[in-house]
């Protein structure tokens, strides 16, 4: 079994990234999330931990998993959850990010969950509001709750994170999931390999504390975890791969390349998947090896833990005047 966290509370006001979190703080959040997994499988999922609290989901980019799971997380904990769709908000009339934040802040939310296409935008917004802010993904910078749910999935299946060998494969250059996972896995004592063509790796990649491979079979040799990433075409300006067909041939995960990993290696993907581009359906749907659906399930538990941790020490509501 993994050792539990010695912490009894989370000292951060916001969750903007994995950068800056200690191993004890990550373990604290994972332990808190673990406590939500079984209750989430029961008929009555409702708790009252967030009763009276208001959570606003403010997504400037599309999302299926993150937005839905934050909404479920807030509601299952008894909070009031508002989903702001930027396509029907006053942002369409030219209101800026900061003015939107200040406007929402005036309504006294307790937590803002924000996704934005620009790296650093969520941090900027957090400086303008009084409530807690959770980064639900900012550009190619960080996606901390994705890394936490990946870590919970790994810990539940492998019993630990420390000492594991993890290969993160694909479009590292544009991936906030990769950045958050590299931070978390290094902090927790795992070893990280990046497997990608040179065009899809950031400059000075070795400074991230990883080993780099450009050959998929060599990169997957003996790994415990294979984490696949999609090509983030929405962040690409120009051509980064010769063709999808060639990309899949060299860097797509299929049965043949997977054979280089340990026989019990887990297959992970944060979603959304592009089948036949970075992953073959045969391995994505392998019920013995793929934990992609478990990742989605753990997403709700992890987001419940993050909401709980950030609101635990807020002052409770006083009597009405
Ligand atoms: N993994 C992830 O962030 O998925 P969504 O874009 O659907 O939220």
- The string of DSSP codes covering 50-65 is TTT-EEEEEESS--SH
146 CA distance to ligand 1 middle (Å): 8
Report whether residue 145 contacts ligand 1, using a CB cutoff of 6 Å: no
Report whether residue 57 contacts ligand 1, using a CB cutoff of 6 Å: no
Q: Which two tokens stand for residue 209?
A: 């504390």
**Nearest CA among 143, 127, 146 for reference residue 135:** 143
* Closest residue to atom 4 of ligand 1, CA basis: 65
* Closest residue to atom 5 of ligand 1, CA basis: 63
Whether residue 320 is predicted with pLDDT greater than 70 in this model: the reply is no
Average pLDDT over residues 289-318: 91
Task: State the pLDDT confidence band at 193, using cuts at 50, 70 and 90.
Answer: very high
Long-range Cβ pairs for the range 105-109 (8 Å, 24+): 105/129, 105/130, 105/131, 107/54, 108/54, 109/54, 109/55, 109/56, 109/82
Whether residue 321 is predicted with pLDDT greater than 60 in this model: the reply is no
Encode pLDDT of 89-109 as tens digits.
Answer: 777 778 899 999 999 999 999
Report whether residue 264 contacts ligand 1, using a CB cutoff of 6 Å: no
Query: CB of 56 within 8 A of CB of 111?
Result: yes
The catalytic position among 14, 36, 67, 115 is 115
Long-range Cβ pairs for the range 210-213 (8 Å, 24+): 210/182, 210/186, 213/167
The catalytic position among 143, 257, 289, 303 is 143
The CA–CA distances, whole Å, from 19 to 71, 98, 185, 226, 284 equal: 25, 24, 11, 22, 30
143 catalytic, yes or no?
A: yes
Query: CB of 229 within 8 A of CB of 276?
Result: no
Which H or E run contains 136?
Answer: strand 132-138
117 CA distance to ligand 1 middle (Å): 13
Report whether residue 68 contacts ligand 1, using a CB cutoff of 6 Å: no
The pLDDT of residue 90 is 77
93 catalytic, yes or no?
A: yes
Report whether residue 187 contacts ligand 1, using a CB cutoff of 6 Å: no
Encode pLDDT of 22-70 as tens digits.
Answer: 999 999 999 999 999 999 999 999 999 999 999 999 999 999 999 999 9
Higher-confidence residue of 12 and 86: namely 12
Report whether residue 65 contacts ligand 1, using a CB cutoff of 6 Å: yes
62 CA distance to ligand 1 middle (Å): 8
Query: Which ligand 1 atom is nearest residue 299's CA?
Result: 1
Higher-confidence residue of 38 and 3: namely 38
Task: State the pLDDT confidence band at 319, using cuts at 50, 70 and 90.
Answer: low
* Closest residue to atom 3 of ligand 1, CA basis: 66
% of the chain exceeding 90 in pLDDT: 84
Average pLDDT over residues 291-319: 90
**Angle, vertex CA 201, rays to CA 256 and CA 121, nearest 5:** 125
Whether residue 292 is predicted with pLDDT greater than 80 in this model: the reply is yes
The pLDDT of residue 297 is 98
CA distance 204 to 174: 15
Query: Which ligand 1 atom is nearest residue 270's CA?
Result: 1
The catalytic position among 66, 153, 187, 311 is 66
145 catalytic, yes or no?
A: no
Whether residue 210 is predicted with pLDDT greater than 80 in this model: the reply is yes
The pLDDT of residue 273 is 95
Whether residue 153 is predicted with pLDDT greater than 90 in this model: the reply is yes
Average pLDDT over residues 254-258: 98
320 CA distance to ligand 1 middle (Å): 39
The pLDDT of residue 1 is 53
245 catalytic, yes or no?
A: no
Pairing of strands 111-116, 54-59: parallel
175-210 b/e (C-beta count within 10 Å ≥ 16 → b): bbbbbbbbbbbbbbebbbbbbbbeebbbeebeebeb
295 CA distance to ligand 1 middle (Å): 11
The pLDDT of residue 194 is 98
177 CA distance to ligand 1 middle (Å): 10
116 catalytic, yes or no?
A: no
Task: State the pLDDT confidence band at 318, using cuts at 50, 70 and 90.
Answer: low
Query: Which ligand 1 atom is nearest residue 62's CA?
Result: 6
The pLDDT of residue 59 is 94
């Amino acid at each position: 079994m993994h050792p539990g966290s010695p912490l009894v509370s989370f000292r951060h006001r916001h969750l903007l990234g994995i950068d800056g979190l200690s191993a004890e703080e990550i373990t604290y959040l994972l332990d808190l999330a673990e406590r939500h997994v079984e209750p989430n499988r029961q008929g009555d999922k409702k708790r009252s931990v967030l009763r009276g609290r208001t959570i606003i989901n403010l997504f400037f980019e599309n999302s299926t998993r993150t937005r839905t799971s934050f909404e479920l997380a807030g509601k299952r904990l008894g909070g009031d959850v508002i989903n702001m769709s930027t396509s029907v908000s006053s942002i369409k009339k030219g209101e800026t990010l900061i003015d939107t934040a200040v406007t929402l802040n005036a309504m006294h939310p307790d937590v803002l969950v924000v996704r934005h296409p620009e790296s650093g935008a969520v941090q900027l917004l957090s400086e303008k509001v009084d409530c807690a802010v959770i980064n639900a993904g900012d550009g190619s910078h960080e996606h901390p709750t994705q890394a936490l749910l990946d870590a919970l999935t790994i810990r539940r299946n492998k019993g630990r994170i420390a000492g594991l060998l993890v290969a993160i494969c694909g479009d590292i250059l544009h991936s906030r999931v990769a950045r958050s996972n590299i931070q978390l896995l290094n902090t927790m004592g795992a070893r990280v390999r990046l497997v990608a063509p040179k065009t899809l790796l950031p400059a000075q990649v070795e400074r991230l504390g990883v080993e780099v491979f450009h050959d998929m079979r060599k990169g997957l040799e003996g790994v415990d975890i294979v984490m696949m990433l999609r090509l983030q075409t929405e962040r690409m300006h120009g051509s980064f791969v010769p063709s999808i067909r060639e990309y899949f041939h060299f860097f797509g995960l299929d049965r043949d390349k997977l054979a280089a990993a340990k026989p019990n290696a887990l297959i992970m993907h944060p979603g959304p998947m592009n089948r036949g581009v970075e992953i073959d359906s045969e391995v994505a749907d392998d019920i013995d090896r793929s934990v992609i659906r478990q990742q989605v399930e753990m997403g709700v538990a992890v987001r419940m833990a993050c909401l709980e941790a950030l609101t635990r020490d807020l002052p409770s509501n006083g009597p009405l005047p």
